[in-house]
Structure 1
Amino acid sequence: MTHYELLGISPGATSAQIKAAYHAKLREFPAHTYPQEFKAIREAYEALRRETTQPENFLTMRPLEAELNPELLKQVQEKALAQLEVSLDDLIRATF
């Protein structure tokens, strides 16, 4: 038996309908008289409540969408290459 069937609602029920059905079932099956049924109803309600409150695919990775300015990228590349250009004499002096 599914959680929806246990509470007597359809799978497309809203959170308000789920809550109303839960309270109706609790009145029908009080904890002191029907402990097993009460526990099953409580578990069904908690499962459906978590299902409706948590967004789907919460932990899925989404691609990062970014655009780089080509002119700015070219300037950065030129600066980096200028820093890397070292003459052989400068390299020998830096090494010894």
Structure 2
Amino acid sequence: MSVGDKAKHTAQDAKGKIKEAVGKATGNEQTQAEGQADQDVAHAGQAADKAKETAKNVGHQATGKAKEVAGAVTDDDGLEAKGKAEQLIAKGKQHLNK
């Protein structure tokens, strides 16, 4: 998830919270509902970004595993080590994505 997307979704969520609070304070149900809708859109965007990042990390883990196995089969210690490193990096990124 890019920093720009994260900031955009966070701002949209904050805007929705403010709009919802104004709607509640003024008794305007439409403004309140619009605020909740803004928050829902922001949360959906955040979830989509996380899913996209998860898919990318899984792909990197699979690529790393393939390199590790190929290195082991061909006795290429460098390729095997590179594959293991790519897997660890992908796992670390996935951990940060939660």
TM tier relative to shorter chain: 0.3 to 0.5
TM-score by length of 2: 0.40
- What is the TM-score with the length of structure 1 in the denominator? 0.40
Between Structure 1 and Structure 2, which shows a larger proportion of helix residues?
Answer: 2
